[in-house]
Amino acid sequence: MSSLYDEVAPAPAEGVPTRRITVTVNGEPRTIDVEPRLLLAHMLRQGLKLTGTHSGCDTSNCGACTILFEGRPIKSCTMLAVQADGHSIETVEGLATSSELHPIQEGFKEEHGLHCGFCTPGMMMASKALLEKNPNPTEDEVRWALSGNLCRCTGYQNIVKSVLWAAEKMRAESN
């Protein structure tokens, strides 16, 4: 098994240890060798080729790299891959099935919440965490839940409407 580090950066200095970790990603256990300094965001993107998790700043500001860690939204550029060992994570690739979009994805389509697309996966994962905890959020609660996810282009109005649209659809589906 090759080290993931080889895929994301020049070869490590001789003698740099790697660690074998197993992370459940979108329901599937993945066992990989990583250098202890590898960020979880980089493991996902370059190592596992799950490029839906975007890297917008690498300084924990933008939220483009948001994933769910044991169901809670985290910025994957703030966590080392080795810290995910034995844990379960969800990325935007896990939202849709082979035949259907997730209601959150539908909501972003219906309410024109897809502006640049770059920050969208992180917004969707933060929204998923919100709606699993609170199926009937107010506009303020949506804005608060997305407060760690920056939009630098047009604003948040349609993004908030998208999440409220998804909430309504998910409530209807659960009745």
Residue 75 or 161 having the CB closest to ligand FES = 75
List interacting residues with ligand FES (CB under 6 A): 55-58, 60-65, 75, 77, 115-116, 118-119, 151-154
Residue 73 or 103 having the CB closest to ligand FES = 73
CB of 95 to ligand FES, least distance (A): 17
CB of 98 to ligand FES, least distance (A): 26
Residue 3 or 55 having the CB closest to ligand FES = 55
Residue 32 or 151 having the CB closest to ligand FES = 151
Q: Report d(CA 121, CA 165) in Å as an integer.
A: 17
Q: In what order do the strands lie in the sheet with 72-75?
A: 28-34, 19-25, 88-90, 66-69, 72-75
CB of 75 to ligand FES, least distance (A): 4
Residue 65 or 68 having the CB closest to ligand FES = 65
CB of 20 to ligand FES, least distance (A): 25
Q: Residues 108, 120: contact at Cβ < 8 Å?
A: yes
CB of 121 to ligand FES, least distance (A): 10
